[in-house]
Amino acid sequence: MPRTLLAVTIVLSVLTKFDPALAELFALTKIDLSGSDFLTGYPWRLVTVAFVHGGFNPDWQSWALHLGFNAIALDIAAQLVYRLYGAKRLIGWYFIGVIGASLASAIWLPNGYSVGASGGVFALFGIALGAEWSHRPLVERGMRDALGRVGGLLLINIMLGFGIGFVGGGIDNSAHIGGLLTGLLFGVLLQPTRAEAMRRRWSAAIANRRGGDVALSLLVLIGFVAIYVNWRELASLRSQLPF
C-alpha cells in the first residue's frame, strides 16, 4: 500500500506535468486574479494539490527536483506509518493530513497557489513522531533508528522553509506545519495497532475504544469543514497578526 500511494502520486504528477490545464485544475489556488474567493467553489483542490509538482508549467529540472524529494520522503514516511497503523489508516490519515496542510496554507498564504505532496508527507511524519513520543512502539532496531531521526529531519525542513542558512525560502511552511500538527494529533491520541506499545499514557484511552480512530477522524474532518467554510474570514484575521 505505501508503494501504491507513491505510484499514484508519481503517475498523476507526470500527467499534470504534460497537461498544464490539469495542473491548474488540481493546484491549490485560493484567491483569483480579481481578488475574489476562488477556493470555496473547488473543494477538491484541498486534496489534488498533492498530485501537482513544480507549478502549472514548470521546467523539467524544477519539476523533477520537487517530485523527487517528495517521492523519497513519501516512501519513507508511508512505510513508517504502515508498519505502525496499517494500510487503511495510512491512506485515510494521509489525505486528512493533506487537507489540514491545504487549509493552513489557505489561511496563512491566501494569495497565489500551492502545489506538492509535502503537506501530506509532514502529516505522516507527524503521525510517526507522535506515536514514538506518546506510545514507544516496540519495533525492530532499523525502524527505531528511523523514528528517532524523524524529529530532526522535520526541524531541518521547517528551518529551510524559513530560509535559514544559505538555502531555503520560497517553501510553503504553513502547509508543512499544518500537516505536521494534523499528523501529531493522530499519532499522540491513537495507539499503534500493528506494534505493541511499551508505554501507555492517557491517550491510550481513545485507542482502546472500538472505533476510536474513526471517531477522531470524523471529528477532525468536521472541524476542517468548519474551517473551510470560513477560510477567507480566518485568512483576514491572520493577516492582522504582526508576523
Q: What would the pLDDT profile of 162-178 be if each residue is shown by its tens digit?
A: 554 333 445 778 899 99
* pLDDT over threshold 60, residue 206: no
* pLDDT over threshold 70, residue 144: no
Whether pTM > 0.75 for this model: the answer is yes
Give the cell for residue 165. Answer: 542558512
**Residue 1: its pLDDT value, please?**
85
Mean pLDDT calculated for residue range 71-90 = 91
DSSP lists the bridge partners of residue 137 as 197
**Residue 81: its pLDDT value, please?**
92
Domains, the chain: 2-239 (1.20.1540.10)
| DSSP labels, 55-107 | -SS--HHHHHHHHHHHHHHHHHHHHHHHHHH-HHHHHHHHHHHHHHHHHHHHH
